[in-house]
Amino acid sequence: MPDAKTIRLWAALLAASGALTYALVLARFPAASLLGAMLCAIAFGAGGAGLTVHRVAFLAAQAVIGCLVAHAVTGETARTLLADGPVMLLVVLLTVAAGALVGLVLTRLRVLPGTTAAWGSSPGGAAAMVAMAEDYGSDPRLVAFMQYVRVVAVVLSAALVTRFLTDASAAPASPAGEGGGAGSVLVTLAVALFGGLAGHRLRIPAGAQIGPMVIGSILHVSGLARMDLPDVLLEGSYALIGWYIGLRFTRETVRETLHALPGILAATFGVIVLCGFWALALTRILPIDPLTAFLATSPGGLDSVAIIAVGSTADVSFVLAVQTLRLFVVLITGPILARWIARAAPGGR
């Protein structure tokens, strides 16, 4: 049972997040609930509030986002993968190479140890990278700090780009669902529950999200079930993910990594800028708009980019196809790149 101080802090965080979210909604920013909750949580976490979001709640929120992605997936997604697969793979490999290059530079400059720099700069799912980094002997605190600094920077930059590249008079349709009623909501909750549990138990990377995404996509595309995501469920999930990310920025973590912060920030924005160039090149190769290209190449987590993409006028099928492909490529190549960067480090660590 939480004590009175914890309850007051959560009430304050909830109120602050609500106020900032409302301001972001008025400013027409995408993923306002995610942004508002995340920015407020960073302030509370770095201020020493000591609040945490239980991992089960975070996994549940990821499962809901998996259903959101499934609702956005259509037969066009598979056709996009088949038609543009080689180009997508090239973009993914370039993004991974950019992360490896940044990790190598950080190692050479002795900003961070080799394997820590490799995992921290790897453009995959933040939670998966932290878990795998710990398995391979890296400092999980530094990796987590690097990953979540990048997630925050990517979310902010993607939200800004989306805000200014999206015509406010052409707002996208709400991703909440198709008005299928209580039955569709129950189906969606069942997909989130069983898909999330299956993905997590099978130890699939980002399984809590991938499981519902795969099962829900099959049901949705085949017409076997209608997906319906009430606004309150979506907004609550956005906020949980934002709090989970933001509250990781504790006073102790920031203090321990303060000496590496300039290098981490430079590395983060370096990767974002490099991916921005890939996005620009992508618009010259494929008939896609700049916003779709930017979100597809954005080196953020699949969940946060999915939230922004679905709430924008971007080609969601293309964005999600590239982001999902990159997640699996990073998970396969991560250990190899980590060992290579470690060997290239001064002293061979």
**Domain at 226, CATH number:** 1.20.1530
Q: What is the pLDDT of residue 123?
A: 66
β-bridge partners, 177: 228
* Greater model confidence, 10 or 28: 10
User: What is d(CA 198, CA 131) in angstroms, rounded to the nearest whole number?
Assistant: 19
Question: Above 90 in pLDDT, residue 117?
Answer: no
Q: What is the pLDDT of residue 14?
A: 96
Query: Using one digit for the tens of pLDDT, what is the confidence trace for 167-197?
Result: 555 555 445 455 556 778 888 889 999 998 9
What confidence category does residue 34 fall into, taking pLDDT thresholds of 50, 70 and 90?
A: confident
What values do phi and psi take at 315, rounded to 5? -75, 95
Question: Above 90 in pLDDT, residue 17?
Answer: yes
User: What is d(CA 298, CA 47) in angstroms, rounded to the nearest whole number?
Assistant: 29
Give the pair of three-digit tokens for residue 129. Answer: 């990278």
Per the CB < 8 A criterion, the answer to whether 20 and 40 are in contact is yes
| Average pLDDT rounded to a whole number, residues 221-247 | 84
Other residues' Cβ atoms within 10 Å of the Cβ of residue 54? 10
User: What is d(CA 33, CA 192) in angstroms, rounded to the nearest whole number?
Assistant: 20
* Greater model confidence, 305 or 179: 305
| Average pLDDT rounded to a whole number, residues 336-343 | 71
Question: Above 90 in pLDDT, residue 12?
Answer: yes
Question: Above 60 in pLDDT, residue 255?
Answer: yes
Residue 305, CB-side half-sphere exposure with 13 Å CA sphere = 33
Give 128-195 as a DSSP string: HHHHHHHHTT--HHHHHHHHHHHHHHHHHHHHHHHHHHS-TTSPPPPTTB----HHHHHHHHHHHHHH
Question: Above 50 in pLDDT, residue 334?
Answer: yes
Q: Return all residues near 255 (Cβ < 8 A) that are at least 6 apart.
A: none
Question: Above 70 in pLDDT, residue 38?
Answer: yes
| Average pLDDT rounded to a whole number, residues 270-293 | 86
Other residues' Cβ atoms within 10 Å of the Cβ of residue 198? 17
What confidence category does residue 37 fall into, taking pLDDT thresholds of 50, 70 and 90?
A: very high
Q: How many domains does the chain have?
A: 1
Question: Above 90 in pLDDT, residue 22?
Answer: yes
Q: What is the mean pLDDT of the chain?
A: 79
Angle at 301 between CA 49 and CA 146, to 5 degrees: 55
| Average pLDDT rounded to a whole number, residues 67-95 | 77
Say what percent of the chain tops pLDDT 90: 10
Q: What is the pLDDT of residue 4?
A: 87
Whole-angstrom Cα Rg for the chain: 19
What domain range includes position 339? 4-348
Question: Which amino acid, 170?
Answer: A
| Average pLDDT rounded to a whole number, residues 292-319 | 80
Query: Using one digit for the tens of pLDDT, what is the confidence trace for 121-166?
Result: 776 666 666 656 666 666 666 777 777 777 778 878 888 887 777 6
Question: Above 90 in pLDDT, residue 62?
Answer: no
What are the C-alpha distances in Å from 293 to residues 66, 306, 315?
21, 13, 9
